[in-house]
Amino acid sequence: MLQGVRTDVSIPFRNVYSALLRRDPIETEKIIPELAESWTVSQDGLTYTFVIRKGALWHDGQPVTTKDVEFSLTRMKFPPKGVSSPRGQSLLQGVVSIKALDDSRVELKLDQPSSSFLGRIATDWVVIVPKHTTEKHGDLKQIVNGSGPFKFVRYTSGVSVELTKNKDYFASGRPFVDNVILYILPDAGTSFAALRTGRVLMSTLGSRAATDAQIRITQKELADKITVERYQSFSRYLVRPNLQVKPWDDARVREALNLAINRQEFVKLTLLGIEGGYFHPNTKWGLPLSDLTTRPGWRQPKDQDVAAAKKLLTDAGYNKETNIPLLCRRGADCEIYATTLKSQLEPIGFKTTVTPMEGPVLEDRMAKGEFSLVLHALGVGLDDPDSIIFEQHVSNAPRNYGKYKDPEIDAWAKEQSRTLDENKRRELVRKIDERLMSVHESPSLLWLDYVRLYWKNVRGIRHGPGIYTDENLEYVWLAK
């Protein structure tokens, strides 16, 4: 039996549901079929036609149909009233129509050609759900009925999620293990103790898979038993001002905020931290660190930046101590970062009050614009500018919580998305990056790599680049 230390939404449910496409488990840059057996693209790049696999079944025994695909993608792209779909809307950016042509084909039309479209839908967020189950129950919060390699057995609140092998899975011979139990162990010490004693065999993915101290212990004392795997997460920790409220409606105040941040201090807080701007610095899209370190807000020592920040605040009329309410997600990482940010803002005259909140509550507050300043993390589905720009930075982006609007960025975003020449596309992305950095829309604190820890008898672990790409367990097997 394979067991996980903690659970993330994407782990259990990417194993229960299937997507149209997925990343190749070995060559992760390659996109391969899943529920779609094949696809064609029209000459003008505007029409994608997917041939849906025959013989795929929902876990209740009913066949997966083209109507299910049409229903699922439509619900993600054009969510009904009361349904929030920030990931789906951004990943399906540019889709104008979704139609089941017959019992084997589904057609998607785009408003313009896209260099990233197939990569965007080959992620763990764009899964297909059963139309009949969703319509009967109103949503899928209580009923789990997928077509993936594992069937949902039960969720024990605060304890575990249990899955079992789907013997009717369309990929014959997989999965290789009979059962999966993902234990919910919020306490880092308890979860690591369970892993190092072999009571569980694998940690979850993400920033909470292991603390720095636990990584060091594993590498020093358990290297012959447990693998420590580090990989890019495409997750950025940032501080987001609400441009609709004072003092953040003034660009000078946002610039002062950016100048006060000491990125190097944040990177020192974790083994996995990386300095970077609005795009990951270790990818072809991001500004390299060598470019950033000479800029105000990044350079060392900080004396010059702090003095400049104080002058900006005086010029903006904030020459006395200013109270700044700062929200953050409850949990060790965000709370530590918030405390560090608070200490960095004090020298420029900001008196910061930190209020931790549970993740869903914080997301709701941000979505409603009920905040002044928020420290939070955003992870994107894939290493492509479209995934970042259309989810976070264009005027109508579902996660543009600060309500920054810039017609030029909107135009550049569309232009880079339809540009097939990679060098020209990089030039446009650089324009967007430089503009965001100049207006301090949501200053970066750090990017964070992730780790996964697992016993060496756990074989066949596969995941694509990032944390939301092909995060499934159907290839996993246990060596004796």
pLDDT tens digits, 210-249:
889 999 999 999 999 999 988 887 889 999 999 999 999 9
pLDDT average, residue stretch 181-188:
86
| Confidence (pLDDT) at 305 | 97
Using CA atoms, how far apart are residues 431 and 385, in angstroms rounded to an integer?
12
| Confidence (pLDDT) at 1 | 37
| Confidence (pLDDT) at 463 | 66
Residue 91 has pLDDT above 90, yes or no: no
Residue carrying the six token digits 């994608």: 48
- Per-residue confidence band for 4, with pLDDT thresholds at 50, 70 and 90: very low
C-alpha dist (Å) from residue 457 to 9, 11, 254, 475: 25, 20, 51, 14
Q: What are the φ/ψ torsions at residue 86 (nearest 5 degrees)? A: -65, -40
Nearest residue to 157 via CA among 147, 142, 146: 142
- E strand spans, 125-189: 127-128, 150-156, 160-165, 179-183
What interhelical angle do 251-260 and 332-345 show, nearest 10? 110
- Per-residue confidence band for 30, with pLDDT thresholds at 50, 70 and 90: confident
| Confidence (pLDDT) at 7 | 39
Beta bridge partners of 19: 127
Task: Please name the amino acid found at residue 239.
Answer: V
- Per-residue confidence band for 6, with pLDDT thresholds at 50, 70 and 90: very low
Residue 427's contacts (CB-CB under 8 Å, 6 or more residues apart) are none
pLDDT average, residue stretch 356-380:
92
Q: Is 167 exposed, middle or buried (0-12, 13-18, 19+ CB in 10 A)?
A: exposed
Using CA atoms, how far apart are residues 81 and 103, in angstroms rounded to an integer?
29
The two tokens of residue 476 are 């996993």
Q: Tell which wins on pLDDT, 86 or 292.
A: 292
Between strands 350-357 and 150-156, the pairing is unpaired
| Confidence (pLDDT) at 8 | 57
Residue 269 near residue 418 (C-beta atoms within 8 A): no
Specify the range with the lowest mean pLDDT, choosing from 10-24, 160-174, 360-374. 10-24
Per-chain mean pLDDT for the chain: 91
| Confidence (pLDDT) at 43 | 94
- Domains delineated in the chain: 1-16+148-225+456-480 (3.40.190.10), 17-132 (3.90.76.10), 233-449 (3.10.105.10)
| Confidence (pLDDT) at 68 | 98
pLDDT average, residue stretch 386-412:
93
